[in-house]
Amino acid sequence: MGTAYSLRLADASLDRRDLAALQTDVDAALAEVNRQMSPYLPDSEISRFNRAGADEPVAVSPDFQVVARRALDIAAATDGAFDPTAGALVNLWGFGPDGLRRVAPTPDQIAAARAITGWRHLRLTPEGRLAKDVPALQLDLGAIAKGFGVDRIATLLRERGFENFLVEIGGETLGAGLNAQGEPWRVGVLKPDGSSALHGVAPLTGGRAIATSGDYRNFYRDETGELRAHIVDPRTAAPVGHAIASVSVLAGDCLTADALATALFVLGPDEGLPLLAARFPGVEALFLVRNGTNSFREISTPGFASVPAPE
């Protein structure tokens, strides 16, 4: 997944051997997620699908089916603001496997990428096979698979009898039970200015998960001086250009939080907040909007609990 993970266990008595065995199992579970869904592994299930033609459905594992089905559901609910086939557009703008670029693509290049993009060209059959009706369509689960990895490790821990834990992969986080002080886990929400300073702290417990998307870490300025961030709006085929700096989402699972953080960053609060109310009850969101240099204002759902960061 190109990142690090951490687990915190509260109120658990494990010796060195037990901890080593647990880490072996966690590593194996994450390796399996990669084996299925990493486009950087040539023999992964997703890589085999991306090489397949339009008339060549590819059988995928049950976990892969869960992620693909949820990705398609969220794509439909957001009218394509979240699109698991947008990898060609992301790559074209300089944020994919071909590496960073600092020159905006031409209209012809954008049109060519759009022609091989679109979640409506992807389907999951009842037999658990992925199929596409555009031969060059490329599936990219980078905006949802990491959240699924968090959920997968949480499931493993519950199966082993753990009740109080925090799982984090590359910033996507799930908290179950309470921390060592008998209180909800506390997860920092970064100030979206590229520093390590916190904007606030969100309490996390009960299996709730939090994920954040923003434009403050992975961006460049093109030849005109325009800021280009790594989150591309699949509907316009261009990087998102509004004043939203980050979106943090609280949900009942990290897979949903991960995907919706990306979708809501694309949509912004004017479209995103009504969408949550209508289609995703129980999901909460915090938008941090630029309000001058290194100043941000909050727009959030009523249920997003956050407290100011400690001084």
Q: What is the pLDDT of residues 220-254, one digit of tens each?
A: 555 555 555 667 888 887 777 778 889 999 999 99
Neighbours of 272 (CB within 10 A): 25
Is residue 131 within 8 A of residue 125, CB to CB? The reply is: yes
Instruction: Label residue 137 by pLDDT band (50, 70, 90).
Output: very high
pLDDT tens-digit series, residues 51-65:
999 989 999 999 999
What is the gyration radius of the CA atoms in the chain, in angstroms? Answer: 20
Closest CA to 123 of 54, 170, 38, 40: 54
What does each C-alpha distance from 266 to 37, 72, 88, 195, 289 come to in angstroms?
Answer: 23, 17, 17, 23, 13
171-308: CATH class: alpha beta
Max CA distance (Å), the chain: 61
Say if residue 100's pLDDT is above 80.
Answer: no
Domain ranges of the chain: 171-308
Contacts of 65 (CB under 8 A, 6+ apart): 124, 128
Q: What is the pLDDT of residue 127?
A: 96
Give CA separation, 43 vs 3, 35, 46, 197, 279, in Å.
Answer: 20, 8, 8, 40, 36
